Amino acid sequence: MSKLFEFTGDGDFCPGGSLYPNPKETSLFLSLGRHVDVYFPACKRSRVSAPFVISGDQLKQKKKASINVLPDECLFEIFRRLPAGQERSACACVSKRWLLLMSNIRGDELCCNEATLPLKREDNPAPINGQDEEVSGDEPPVKKDDGYLSRVLEGKKATDVRLAAIAVGTSGHGGLGKLLIRGNNSIRGVTDLGLRAVARGCPSLKVLSIWNVSSVGDEGLIEIANGCRQLEKLELCHCNAVSDKALISLAKNCRQLTDISIDSCSSLRNEGLQAIGQNCPNLKSISINNCPHVGDQGIASLLSNASCVLTKVKLQTLQVTDLSLAVIGHYGKAVTDLILANLQNVSERGFWGMGKGHGLQKLRSFAVASCQGMTDLALKELGKGCPNLKQLCVHKCAFLSDSGLDSFAKAALSLERLQLEECHRITQSGLFAVLAICGDKLKSLTLVHCLGMKDLSMGSPMLSPCKSLRSLSIRHCPGFGDISLVMLAKLCPNLRHVDLSGLQGITDAGFVPLLENCDGGLVKIKISGCTNLTDKAVSAIAEMHGWTLEVLNLEGCRKVGNTSLVAIAENCPLLNDLDVSLCAVTDFGVAALGRADQLNLQILSISGCTQISEKCLPALRRLGQSLVGLNLQHCSGISKKSVDLLVEQLWRCDILH
């Protein structure tokens, strides 16, 4: 045997002689393979503590008894006697089997008194060292949200093993409070097993959101209902395996539910909503979208309950009829926000009945979209039945005209915000009628894609100015031009925000009078896509409102050039957001901005300005002292190398290129 360690010559492990002070120290060898030996310095102890039996030319290690030979029942009894905190997390790191066993221990099954044990708080849940799945080291830590721990699992990271690790690892922090699961992992996605681990390890869970997880069904949510009775907010989206059975269990066990959102869950019917209406007295917000089997029976049960305190209701793409709207109008006494969208089976009678019920006395915000039943008569009755309505948004209601808008404005005495989108029967006459009737309280008016707006001369209407209006937005209405704009200028003297995006029919002749009549000073101006506006209009903006202007969007105004930038540099000290994308500006205009001492731009966009070259880079560096965002996309005159150098120099600025 001694000859083995005294061997020297050409066949030595290390040619030239022995490296070891004592060649007979066998503890310096660690067998890693058949023909590989590794030397460990004598100052460190060998990581192999088992005795070696030397037989021939090989070193063999005796096998030691392993705790893994114990059945799950025995390991379960051991784990539930472990103290809280680091000890449990350490055991969960051993293997996937141990992790899953520990994640299935409920709080009432633990034998130790955690209240008397010191807790060692850690920032991350227990990592996983099992062979079936590996957690990367760059995984984000659990975050604090609204005073409790929260976690988001997305895509391939949404697995049962990670949920088990979260359940075990957060127990030392007081438990997980918010869990969001996004996306479906086709290989090993989240199933009922993962939700069971959360239910048993996170009894303090308050918010649960599951999106597009087809492998989660009733069993997992029933476990959540039994284990997480403090649940307050529930969101289910594209969970087609979830049925009324799960909702009934959640309603009966989680009586603190205040917010429920259900979207595209095809297996849900009316029974689940009935259980929620009967068992959730604290429910304040309900949103149901695209559930084909939900009908009048479920909606009526939600709102007709005597203890109903619902304040926010959203119904979209459902097979409900006029009956549901009548119930809302009669029983929705606490409702403040109501959204109805794409209800194809609801007629004029339903909306008329909702207003006639006089139950929506507290309604403050009402939005209706793609509902053919919203007619002039229906809107008029809603105005009468909702005396405290402050905000109305109507989208794609083809049968609404000027007559209904006029009647509604006269009845809705508290209206402050009006938004009309793709309502093609609304014309210039209806617009001016609203301004005249609501002149003392209307603060915001928005018209988008209303093709009925025609630039017709109506003379000089004897209307009182709408002094309360602060925000005017008329976007992509192709018939709106200078004549209408001049009339609006006379009616709206106190505007702060103006958005005329996409109005190709307006020119300097109509826009400048609007600027002249805004006495208080404009703060935000958006005229992107107004291709007929020139430097004259922008110079007027800078000279008349430069001392209040903060946001200016000129994207796509191809007749705007360097003259405008010079005027902005000289007159707009408060401007922090400037967009001149696709404008006729050159290096000279950018240089003028860079030379301005009083300018304090934070966001600048010159995307698509083909006349910009690398000569403007010094000016951009000077502007970079205050910039936090710079858009250089599609600037063909600036090379990628120059942009990369600019990125290094302006490291505080987010540069798009």
Q: What is the pLDDT of residues 431-444, one digit of tens each?
A: 988 998 987 899 99
Question: Within 13 Å of residue 204, how many CA atoms lie on the same side as its CB?
Answer: 13
What's the confidence (pLDDT) of residue 295?
Answer: 93
| Alpha-carbon 66 to chain mean position | 48
Q: Which of 85-89, 175-179, 302-306, 498-502 has the lowest mean pLDDT?
A: 85-89
d(CA 284, CA 32) in angstroms, rounded, equals 64
Q: What percent of the chain has pLDDT over 90?
A: 61
Q: Confidence band (pLDDT; 50, 70, 90) for 162? A: confident
The closest of 133, 139, 134 to 151, measured between CA atoms, is 139
pTM of this prediction? 0.79
Give the confidence band of 190 by pLDDT, cuts at 50, 70, 90: confident
- Is 306's pLDDT higher than 70? no
User: Cα torsion for 288, 289, 292, 298, to the nearest 10°?
Assistant: 10
pLDDT tens per residue across span 596-632: 988 989 999 999 999 999 999 999 999 998 999 999 9
In this prediction, residue 193 has a pLDDT band, given cuts at 50, 70 and 90, of confident
Instruction: Give the range among 388-397, 424-433, 451-460, 464-473 with minimum mean pLDDT.
Output: 451-460
Determine the pLDDT at residue 96.
62
Helix (H, G, I), strand (E, B) or coil at 650: coil
pLDDT of 406 over the 50 cut = yes
**Hey, CA dihedral for 447, 452, 456, 458, is it positive or negative?**
negative
pLDDT of residue 90 exceeding 70, the answer is no
Please report which confidence band the pLDDT of residue 22 belongs to, taking 50, 70 and 90 as the band edges. very low
Q: Which domains are present in the chain?
A: 19-64 (no CATH), 521-657 (3.80.10.10)
Taking residues 504-528, what's their average pLDDT? Answer: 94
Q: Choose among 422, 402, 514, 421: nearest CA to 469.
A: 514
Confidence of residue 108 (pLDDT cuts 50, 70, 90): low
When pLDDT is averaged across residues 138-144 and rounded to a whole number, the result is: 47
pLDDT of the residue at 145: 55
Percent residues over pLDDT 70 in the chain = 75
